[in-house]
Structure 1
Amino acid sequence: MAKVFSYNVVRFIVLVMLQVFLFKNIGYYNLATPFPYLLFLLLLPVGISNFLLYVLAFITGITVDAFYDTLGVNAAACVALAWGRIIFVRITLQTDQYENYMTPIVGTVSFRWYLLYVFILSLFHHTALFLLETFTFHQFHYTLTRILLSCIFTTIIILLFSLLFYRKKQR
């Protein structure tokens, strides 16, 4: 259990620093913005308590908000992601088959499930984030385009990270 905790602390620090110092400056004409810090929330253990998941999601979002100068938009989107993660894991995984400390990575779950997991939850996060950011339906087609392109961009980067750090012994 201490090993899982230390992995998650290092993962949090590395992903937030990558988001703040590298991925904040990467984008495609303000249409596609990657948010790979979501990987921290996605790779938390399956059996984590809901309260702790919400607290970690809020801390993650408020940390990114501090660097982005947004007033709680990322925190609200991360808490919404945590809520969506709870529902998605409850619906799709049979938790009695997996240990409580199991992290949903490519080696422990199927690639198809992992791809769907990352895409749907990043779509959920980006929808909450961009709708809260714009807070209007004036240019809804532009906001919808930003949501979809950013979701695809984030999913590709998260899959690249996952495959880059994939351990062969888990196959």
Structure 2
Amino acid sequence: MGRILVVNIIRFIVLVLLQVALFKNIGYYNVAAAFPYILIVFLLPIGIPNLFLFILAFLTGLTIDAFYDSVGLHAASCVALVLYRIFFHKVTLEVEMKESFNTPALGAMGTKWFLSYVFFGTLIHHLTLFLLETFSFSNFFYTLASIILSSIFTVCIILLMSLLVYKRKSRISNI
């Protein structure tokens, strides 16, 4: 349990620093921006109680809000991401897996599961973030383009990061 805590603290620090120092300045004509810090929420252990999950996501979003000078946009988006995460885990995981403290990483869960988990979660996060940011439907197609392009950009970066630390699933054979 202590190892899981240390790994998640290091992951939090590294991803927040990458978001603030590198990805805040990378964008495509103010239409597509990457927010790979949401990987913090995606990779939290499965068996965490929901209240603790909401608190961690809110604090993660508030940390990013402090650097982006946004007033709770990232915090609200991270809380929406946690709602999606709870629903997705409830629908796709078995009971034994829900009670474990495994990290839902690419190597542990499989490519198809992880890709759908990250893609739809990123879409929910970006939909909440950009709709709260504009808070109007006057530039609907511009906002929709920002949501789609930023989601694709973020998912690509998250997949690259996941492939960098990819560990194969250990299979125990009954020979």
Normalised to the residue count of structure 1, the TM-score between the two structures is: 0.96
Match of residue 86 from structure 1: 86
**Structure 1 unmatched runs, 5+:** none
How many positions carry a matched residue from both structures?
171
Q: What RMSD, in angstroms, separates the aligned Cα atoms of the two structures?
A: 1.2
Match of residue 2 from structure 2: 2
**Structure 2 unmatched runs, 5+:** none
Q: Shift in Å at residue 94 of structure 1?
A: 1.2
Secondary structure of the 1:107 match is helix
The sequence identity of aligned pairs, in percent, is 56
Work out the CA distance in 1 between the residues paired with 2:123 and 2:169.
31
Match of residue 39 from structure 1: 39
Work out the CA distance in 1 between the residues paired with 2:14 and 2:170.
23
Report if the CA contact (8 A) 2:108-2:167 is conserved.
no
Q: Shift in Å at residue 106 of structure 1?
A: 1.3
Work out the CA distance in 2 between the residues paired with 1:52 and 1:98.
15
Report if the CA contact (8 A) 2:61-2:74 is conserved.
yes
Match of residue 55 from structure 1: 55
Give 1:15-164 correspondences, 5 Å limit.
15-97=15-97, 100-164=100-164
Report if the CA contact (8 A) 2:89-2:98 is conserved.
no
Divergent runs of 4+, >6 A: none
- The superposition leaves residues 47-105 of structure 1 with CA deviations (integer Å, 9 ceiling, x where unpaired) of 11000000000000000000000011000100111111101111111131465210111
Match of residue 165 from structure 2: 165
Normalised to the residue count of structure 2, the TM-score between the two structures is: 0.94
Work out the CA distance in 1 between the residues paired with 2:117 and 2:169.
22
Q: Shift in Å at residue 167 of structure 1?
A: 2.0
Larger radius of gyration: 2
